[in-house]
Amino acid sequence: MNYSAEDFARLFGIAPTALPAECLDLIKSADFNYEQPAPAKRDEIILGVMKHVDSDQPTQVGAQRSELWERCWSENLQNFVTSEFELEKLVPKFIKPGQPIRLNQQYVMPRNPAFELAFFQVCRAYYGLKYFAQAKSLHEFGCGTGFNLVALGKLMPHLQLHGLDWSPSACEMVNLIGKHHDLHITGTRFDFFAPDATLPITADSAVMTMVALEQTGPRNGAFIDFLLAKRPLICLHMEPLLDLYDENNLVDYLAARYHRKRGYLSGLLPRLRELAAAGKIEILETRRMFFGSLYHEGYSFVVWRPL
Ligand SMILES: C[S@@+](CC[C@H](N)C(=O)[O-])C[C@H]1O[C@@H](n2cnc3c(N)ncnc32)[C@H](O)[C@@H]1O
């Protein structure tokens, strides 16, 4: 089976002819073939996921993990410097190649070990072009290596790029990208748990988080308050959204169990819906990609703007 341009268009809720050329190029250049596993293989995958969720391997996210992230990004920073600032070295290690993935509420076996990364790149390009083209600057909070900003900056060179993260090594990596590549990009320290009210965000700034706000668990309120006070043009969160799983489906149910075990993001959608009902924000789109890694779906979108 092949995940085609028509499948991506259906996923985004548009006609295939409305897919931007940049997305079509990404789709054409990647191998999106996959197979449904045979029953015995499917059982093996499910058992493996259940054993992992029940083990003590999945650790809880939260404020206690700052040193762990710093260690992770300082190693990545070393590799980036040693490679003489090759942008390919910015692909984070948590996108694990060569694993079964989840697609349309099933586990499937991709032929291409980099299927997950390639699929995510198409979604990132589509939503970036759709929502950030009118902005002057793009701020990614919890930016890690900055690889999302680099990709979106190449698609939209007019954007001033700002990477924010609590890890000093992540910020240093982002500043080095700006020094060694032809991109307007800077890195600054920022903590979701204690947002810096003096940070310059203006009415023409776009804001995004990508699998980063997940790390705050239920403690995302301070960041949303910060955004409400700053009133940027648009806010996009690509995060695991527990509320969008159908827990009557086995594959979704296991993702929800994994999500809860790790203590990932909770309460964001209900809060945004309350704010929308009170006329304080407009929710422009909430969409599930029906796609994810072995353990859960990190690629759901909610896009909103302050009113
Ligand atoms: C899973 S990574 C995602 C990185 C990047 N957005 C990406 O897509 O590759 C989560 C990121 O959130 C950052 N992070 C976690 N908790 C944070 C906090 N309280 N404040 C700021 N950044 C945080 C981590 O340092 C890490 O860079």
Is 28 a residue whose pLDDT tops 90?
yes
User: Can you tell me which atom of ligand 1 is nearest the CA of 209?
Assistant: 6
238 found inside a domain: yes
Is 94 a residue whose pLDDT tops 80?
no
Is 7 a residue whose pLDDT tops 80?
yes
189 found inside a domain: yes
Looking at the structure of the chain, the number of domains it has is: 1
Residue 265's CATH number: 3.40.50.150
75 found inside a domain: yes
262 found inside a domain: yes
Q: Do β-strands 106-110 and 34-35 pair in parallel, antiparallel, or remain unpaired?
A: antiparallel
Q: How far is the CA of 142 from the centre of ligand 1 (A)?
A: 4
pLDDT, residue 95, reads 78
| Cα–Cα separations (whole angstroms), residue 275 to 26, 48, 96, 242 | 36, 40, 36, 19
Q: How far is the CA of 26 from the centre of ligand 1 (A)?
A: 25
Could you tell me the pTM of the whole model? 0.96
pLDDT tens digit string along 148-205?
A: 999 999 999 999 999 999 999 999 999 999 999 999 999 999 999 999 999 999 999 9
CB 2 within 8 A of CB 28: no
Q: What is the arithmetic mean of pLDDT over 101-119?
A: 95
279 found inside a domain: yes
34 found inside a domain: no
Average pLDDT, the chain: 96
| Cα–Cα separations (whole angstroms), residue 180 to 84, 177, 294 | 9, 5, 35
d(CA 289, CA 300): 6
Is 280 a residue whose pLDDT tops 80?
yes
Domain that holds residue 263: 63-94+123-306
53 found inside a domain: no
pLDDT, residue 97, reads 78
Is 144 a residue whose pLDDT tops 80?
yes
- With a 6 Å cutoff on the Cβ, whether 143 touches ligand 1 is yes
23 found inside a domain: no
According to DSSP, residue 88 is labeled G
